[in-house]
Amino acid sequence: MPYSAMQYLEMWLENHHGGKITSLSSLDNDNIVSTLRDILVEAYSFDSDGDGIYGVNDGRTVKSQLLKYNREDQYANALPLYDISLQFSNQHVLDRDGTASSNTTQLVGGMLASLQSLGYNHLLDGYLQSLDHKRQPTNRSSGLAASQALEHKYKLAWKRMQWEAVLPTILMPQDIWSKLKAGSKTSATDVFSHQQMLFQGLRAVAHGDFRSLQRVTSKAKEQIIQSVQLSLHSFESTKDSYSALVYLQGIHEIEELADFMRKSSPVVDSPILSTVTPTGLKTYSSSLDGALVTSRQKSLTTMPLLERWQRRHGQIKDDFDKAESLLGLEEVLLQVSKATDEAQVLTKLYLDLASLSRKAGRIAVAYRALMKLEQLDERGSLNIYDKMQWQIQKAKLLWKQQEARSAIWTGKKLCSELTAYLDGSSMTGSEATSLQLLHVKVLTITGKWIASLRSESSQVILEDFFQKATNIINGIATEAVSERARDTSKAHFALAEFMAAMYQQVSTRVASREWLAGKKVVNARFEELQELTTLKEHMQNENRAHIHALNKEVKHDVNERSKVEASVDQFLIGALCSYGKGLSLSSQAELDMVFRVLSLWFTNQRKADINRVVIEEVIDMVSSYKFVPLSYQIISRISSSSDTGTFQIALHKLVMKMSVQHPHHTLIQLIALKNSGDVEGKGALQFRTNVGDAKAEGAKVYLAELMKTEQRELLESLDSMANAYVQLALFDTSEYHGQKKKIPLSKVTIFETNSGRSGTAPFDQYLRARTRRGGSTVMPAVLTSHISPEADMDYSNVVRTYSFEPHFSITDSGIHRPKIIYCHGSDGESYKQLVKGHDDTRQDLVIEQVFDTMNQFLMEEKATRKRKLRLRTYRVVPLSPIAGVLEWVENTTPWGSYLVSRTSKKLSAHERYHPHEWKHTECRQYLKNAPEKLPAFLEIQANFTPVFHHFFLERFPDAAVWYHRRLAYVQSTAVTSIVGYILGIGDRHSQNILIHEGTGELVHIDFGVVFDQGMALYTPETVPFRLTRDMVDGMGVSGVDGVFSRCCEVTLQLLRKKSASVVTILEVFVHDPLYRWTLSPLKALRIQEGEEEQDRTKPSVRSRSSSRSNSSKRATGTGNTNETQPADEMHAEPGSADAAARALIRVKQKLEGYEDPNGSALSIEGQVKHLLSVAQDPHNLCKLFPGWAPWL
C-alpha cells in the first residue's frame, strides 16, 4: 500500500513537528531521515512514471545513482555501476554456503535488465552462462535471482527460436507443465513466468500444435490476472497493471497468428503430428511438419495482421521497453508463420523498430534492426524503395550518434543514387511516385543537417536540396501529393523555414550599423567619382587610371549591395510562398506555421508585393480553418473603410472567408470590434479618435457586407444577443448589493440599437423573440462553449443558445459587480457564465490564447505529455472594451478563500487548524505598518503555520486518490509557474488563483499585469511567481524537490526547444493594435489598492474573475471613469512599439537562461534552482505589497 505509507508518514511528521509537514532536509536526526527516506523510496518505486522519487533520493550513494539511472532509462550509465558493485561485493553472486545475498540478487537482476534493455544479447547470454557455473541457490534470495535469470534465458531462447536446443534448466517446471497438460488450475502460489509462457506458446505455434497453444494461453491469461488481482480492487497497487495489459496483448497476438494459420492451412491439429515427452517437449514427424509448412507458404499472407498490430502500437509509443518487447514478439511470430510475404512484413517491422529504438536512444537495438535489413538485402529480399528506407535509417542513426559528417555523406550518397535511379528507370505509376517522394524526404533531411552545420553555402543548400525537393513535388501528380501530404508539406515547410531564416539574417544585416556605415562609404566614393568626371579633360587624362579603378569599385559595390538588399524581399516572398504551399498540402492545423506566416505578413504589411503574394499563395490556397485560432489578432487589424491599401484588401479577403465559413468563431469578434468605440472615462474621446472609431467604422463595413451572405440571419441574432449581453453587463445593481436574493432578468431592459430597429424589451423576452425568430438554424452558439474549427466547415452539431434562467445573481464584492447567469444550450446542458461590465476582457482573451498554444506544445513533447502537463483554460468573449462574457470554471474555489476566508457556516483552514495563531488580517496590518519589513515578515511566519496540505486530506480521503490529486496540483503549479514567468504574469494574489476541487489543478485568472508590468506597480513585484509557504505545504514532504522541480525543468526545456515558435507567437500577440502596453501610475496604484480592499472584504468562492472589478484595475477609477482606455495606453501610442520590442527581448533572455544582467546563461537546472530560490527568499517576499499576502 505505497500511497497509504506516504500518507501515514506525512501525518507522523505533522504530529511530531507542531502541526506542519517538515521536509526531510530540515530534520536533524540522521537515523530518522534515513528510515523515512527508505520508506518513501520504496513507496515511490511503485509509481514508475512519477518524479516524486527525485525528491527523496539524495544521489550520494551508488544505490541511489542506480535508482536514478533506471528511472530515467539510462541503462548505459547504470551498467558500469552494476559491474563495479558486483566486483567489490563481498559475496559475488553466492555466499560461501552457496546462497546469494539479497543485495547481490538485486545487483544481478539489475545487470541482467540493463543488458537486455540495451539490446546487448550476446553479452547477456554470456553473463547468464557464467551464472550457471555457480553453485545452485538454496535460499529465497537465490531463488529470486535464479527465477530472474531463467526469465532472461527463456526470452533469449524464443527470440532466437531455439525450440529444441534447450538445456533442462530452461524447461518449464514439471509440476506446472503437468497442470497445463491436464487442464487443471494453477494455484496463486505458482510463480508466474511470462517469458516461460511465451516460449511455450511460440514453440507450439512453430510446430502447429494449436491444442497445446490453447492450454498455454489460457493458463497464461489466468496467471496474469492473478498477478494483478490486487490492482483490480484498489488504486494502491497499479504498478503491474500496465505491464499485465501488455502481456495480455502479446498473448492475444499469438492467438491472432494461430487463428490466421488455422484459417489458411487445411492440415492442422492432427493427433498423429506430435507426441508429448515426459519433459513436456514434443517430437514431430518431419515429413508431416514439412507438408504443413508448405501448405502455409502457399496460402498465408501476414501483412494485414502486421498492420493491425501496428495500429495498436500508438498506445505504447512512449514506453520503448514495452513497445520493443511486442515488436520482438511480432518478429518471431512472423518468422514462424512461414508466410509467403515474410520478407516484406519483416522489412516493415525492422524499419519501424530501427526508427523507434533510435528515437529512444537504444543504439544497439537500432543497429540490430539495420543488420537484419542488411541480411534481407543480401538475400535479395529488399526492393529499391525498402533499400533506400534502410539507408535513410542508417543515416539518421549516424546523426543521432553525432556522427554528422558520416550522416551527411550518407544522405548525399542517397540523393545521388536516387537521382541516378530515377533518371535511368522507366518506372511509372505509384512505384515511381513513392521513390520520388522518398527522394524529397532525403533531400529535405540532408538539407536540414547541412544547414544546421552551415557546411555549405546558402545558395547550395537552397538550390541543391530544398528547392530541388519542392521542384520534384511540383512534378508529381496532385492526387499522389495529397495522399502523402505529410512528407510533401514537410519539404515545403523546410524550404520556408530556411528562407525565413535567411530573410531574418539578411534583413538584420542590412539594418546593422556596419551596413549603414558601408553605405556612407559607397556614397562618398560615388560622389568622388562624380567630381572626377567633371574635371577638365587634361586632368581626367592625368587621373585616368584612378578614375577607371574607382569606377569599377563603385559599380561592384553598388551591384553587390543592391543584390543583398533585393534578396531581403526575395527570401521573404519565397518563405511566404513555401509556407502557403505547405499549409495547403498539410491535413494538420500547423498552428506554429500559421503564426510564422502572420508574423512575416504583419511585419511587412506596407509592402504591396508582399500583400499580393499573401493573397495569391496563402489566403486563396490555404483552408481558412487554420487561421481561426488567430482570428482575434487578424480582425484587430481592420482599419477604416477609407483605407484602401493592399494590406486592407488582403485582410478583407481573409476575414470575409473566415466569417462565411466559420461564423461562430469570427462574427462575434467583428461585432466586438464594431463596439470598440464604446469607451468611457478620461481620454475616451482621444481614444475613439485615434483607434476606436476608425476600427468600429471598418467593422461595420464588414458586417454590412456579411448581411448579404447566407450568414445574415445568424448575424442578426448574434448581434442582438451581444447587444443584450452588453446592456446586462452595464446594468446598475447597486440597489441589490448586500441582498442574497437573486434578481429577475426581466428587470434588465434591453434597448434595441442594431440594424436601424428601435424599441425595448426585458432581457429574457428580448432574446427569446430575437434568437428564436427564424428557428434553430439562426440561433447563435452558446458564447462560452468550446467550438473547434472544422476543416469541413460543418457546424450543424454546434450547441446553440436556447434560453436563460429567469434570474441572475451578482458577486459579493467590487464596485461593478459581475453578473452570474445560466444559459441553456440546445444540448440540454446549462452553461454558467460571468458577465462583466466596465471591464476590459480582451487581455484575458490574449493570454488564454497563449495558454491554448502552450498546451499544444505540451502535448507534442514526450516528456511533458507523459506527465500530462497542461494549463487549465477558460473561454473569454470580449463584446466591447467595457463588457465581456467569461466561462465559469465549475467546481473551483479561490486558493486564498480556502486558507483564510471565513463564512457563516465554516471557519477558514488557518482558523480551524491553528486557532490560536495570528489572524490573516493581523498579519497584513503588521507587515503594512512595520518600518523594517524583513524582521516583521519573519515574525509573521513564526506565528502563521501553513496548512494547505489539509485541502487534499479533506477532499480526497482515499490514499490513492489523495496522491494523484496532489500530484496534479504540484504538476499544474509547476507548469503555470514557468509559463507565467516566461510571460511575465504578475498580480498573483491569493484570489487570482483557483484550485479545482475535483482534480486538484490550479486555474489562474485575471491577467491585467503581464510581460513584467508587475515591476511598474506602485509596490514593485520582486518574485517570478507565487511559491509561498502554503503553496509549498500542499506539495507534501518533498516540497519543491522532486515532482515540482522536475516538472519545472521539463516545461522550461520544452519552451527553450520551442523558443523560436514561442517568440513568433508572442510577436503576433504583442504587436496587436488593440493591446495595451503601458501601465499608468494611477492604474498601478489602483491595482494594489483593490487587492487591499478585496483582502478586507469577504471574498466570494464563486467570484471567479471579480478581482479586477473589485480593484477597478482595468476599466474603472470611480463609479463612472475608465482610465485604461485612452489612446496613450494603446498600441497607437508612439512608444508602444518600443515597449513591445522590450517585452520580446526580455522573453528571449528568459528562454536563453539570462537571469543576471552581468552573468552568463544558466542551464535549465540552474535557472530553475535560481527561480525557486528567488521566489522563496524572505528578502524578496517581505518587499511585496501586503495585499498580495506573501505569508500565505
* Distance between CA atoms of residues 989 and 897, nearest Å: 11
**The predicted structure's pLDDT at residue 866:** 87
**The predicted structure's pLDDT at residue 142:** 59
Q: Looking at the chain, which residues constitute the CATH 1.25.40 domain(s)?
A: 59-160
Distance of CA 930 to the CA centre of its chain: 45
**The predicted structure's pLDDT at residue 1115:** 31
Higher pLDDT, 409 or 1120: 409
> What are the strands, taking DSSP E only, across 816-889?
819-825, 830-837, 876-880, 883-887
One-letter amino acid of 690: N
Contact 116, 82 (CB under 8 A): no
Contact 822, 779 (CB under 8 A): no
**The predicted structure's pLDDT at residue 262:** 79
Phi, psi (deg, nearest 5) at residue 833: -135, 150
* Distance between CA atoms of residues 1101 and 892, nearest Å: 8
pLDDT band at 532 (very low <50, low <70, confident <90, very high): confident
Q: Characterise 268 by phi-psi region: left (phi > 0), alpha (psi -120 to 50), beta (else).
A: beta
- The answer on pLDDT for 1121 being more than 50 is no
One-letter amino acid of 941: Q
Go through the chain and tell me how many residues it has. Answer: 1192
- Unique residue bearing C-alpha cell 535464479: 146
Per-residue exposure over 967-978, b if at least 16 CB sit within 10 Å of its own CB, e if not: bbbbbbbbbbbb
Q: Looking at the chain, which residues constitute the CATH 1.10.1070.11 domain(s)?
A: 891-1188
Asked whether the CA dihedral 188, 193, 194, 197 is positive or negative, the reply is: negative
**The predicted structure's pLDDT at residue 753:** 63
Facing residues of 823 across strands? 804, 831
Residue 532: Cβ within 10 Å count: 16
Provide mean pLDDT across the span 1052-1057: 93
**The predicted structure's pLDDT at residue 97:** 45
Lowest mean pLDDT segment, chosen from 25-34, 300-309, 1093-1102: 1093-1102
pLDDT band at 545 (very low <50, low <70, confident <90, very high): confident
Higher pLDDT, 1120 or 736: 736
Asked whether the CA dihedral 756, 761, 763, 769 is positive or negative, the reply is: negative
**The predicted structure's pLDDT at residue 238:** 62
Residues with Cβ within 8 Å of residue 996, at least 6 apart in sequence: 872, 889, 891, 892, 1002, 1003
- Unique residue bearing C-alpha cell 541543391: 464
Q: CATH number of the domain at 59-160, out of 1.10.3470, 3.30.43, 3.20.20, 1.25.40?
A: 1.25.40
Distance of CA 897 to the CA centre of its chain: 31
Residues with Cβ within 8 Å of residue 831, at least 6 apart in sequence: 782, 784, 785, 822, 823, 824, 825, 887, 888
**The predicted structure's pLDDT at residue 643:** 65
pLDDT band at 1084 (very low <50, low <70, confident <90, very high): low
**The predicted structure's pLDDT at residue 234:** 62
Higher pLDDT, 804 or 756: 804
**The predicted structure's pLDDT at residue 641:** 63
**The predicted structure's pLDDT at residue 394:** 95
**The predicted structure's pLDDT at residue 777:** 52
* Distance between CA atoms of residues 858 and 972, nearest Å: 12
* Distance between CA atoms of residues 844 and 495, nearest Å: 36
Question: What are 237-286's pLDDT values in tens digits?
Answer: 666 677 788 888 889 989 888 888 877 765 444 443 343 333 343 443 33
Higher pLDDT, 17 or 1058: 1058
Residue 707: Cβ within 10 Å count: 14
**The predicted structure's pLDDT at residue 754:** 58
Cα atoms in the Cβ-side hemisphere of radius 13 Å centred on 485? 13
In degrees, rounded to 5, the angle at the alpha carbon of residue 957 between the alpha carbons of residues 952 and 961 is 75
Lowest mean pLDDT segment, chosen from 73-77, 90-94, 210-214, 917-921: 90-94
The alpha helices in 379-457, defined as continuous H runs, are 384-400, 404-424, 429-453
Percent of the chain with pLDDT over 70: 81
One-letter amino acid of 736: Y
The strand pair at 830-837 and 807-810 is best described as unpaired
Q: Which of 80, 79, 6 is nearest to 36 (CA)?
A: 6
Distance of CA 1122 to the CA centre of its chain: 38
Question: What are 93-136's pLDDT values in tens digits?
Answer: 444 444 455 677 888 888 998 998 888 988 988 888 888 776 55
One-letter amino acid of 245: L
Contact 885, 819 (CB under 8 A): no
Residues with Cβ within 8 Å of residue 73, at least 6 apart in sequence: 117, 320, 321, 360, 361
* Distance between CA atoms of residues 873 and 848, nearest Å: 6
* Distance between CA atoms of residues 731 and 745, nearest Å: 11
* Distance between CA atoms of residues 808 and 818, nearest Å: 10
Instruction: State the Rg of the chain over Cα.
Output: 35
Which triple of cell numbers denotes residue 576? 511566404
Angle between helices 320-336 and 194-206 (to 10 degrees): 20
**The predicted structure's pLDDT at residue 1103:** 37
> What are the strands, taking DSSP E only, across 42-90?
none
Q: How far are the Cα atoms of 594, 608, 903 from residue 622, in angstroms, in the given order?
A: 10, 20, 55
Lowest mean pLDDT segment, chosen from 86-95, 573-582, 839-848, 998-1007: 86-95
Q: 3-class DSSP state for residue 330? A: helix
Q: How far are the Cα atoms of 559, 568, 1143, 1149 from residue 512, in angstroms, in the given order?
A: 19, 14, 21, 21
Angle between helices 959-983 and 1136-1152 (to 10 degrees): 130
pLDDT band at 166 (very low <50, low <70, confident <90, very high): low
Q: Average per-residue pLDDT in the chain? A: 81
**The predicted structure's pLDDT at residue 37:** 84
Q: 3-class DSSP state for residue 427? A: coil
CATH of the domain spanning 891-1188 = 1.10.1070.11
Lowest mean pLDDT segment, chosen from 768-772, 911-915, 932-936: 768-772
pLDDT band at 636 (very low <50, low <70, confident <90, very high): confident
Provide mean pLDDT across the span 926-939: 93
Q: How far are the Cα atoms of 228, 502, 688, 692, 1123 from residue 1127, in angstroms, in the given order?
A: 66, 37, 8, 9, 10
Q: 3-class DSSP state for residue 53? A: helix
pLDDT band at 1072 (very low <50, low <70, confident <90, very high): low
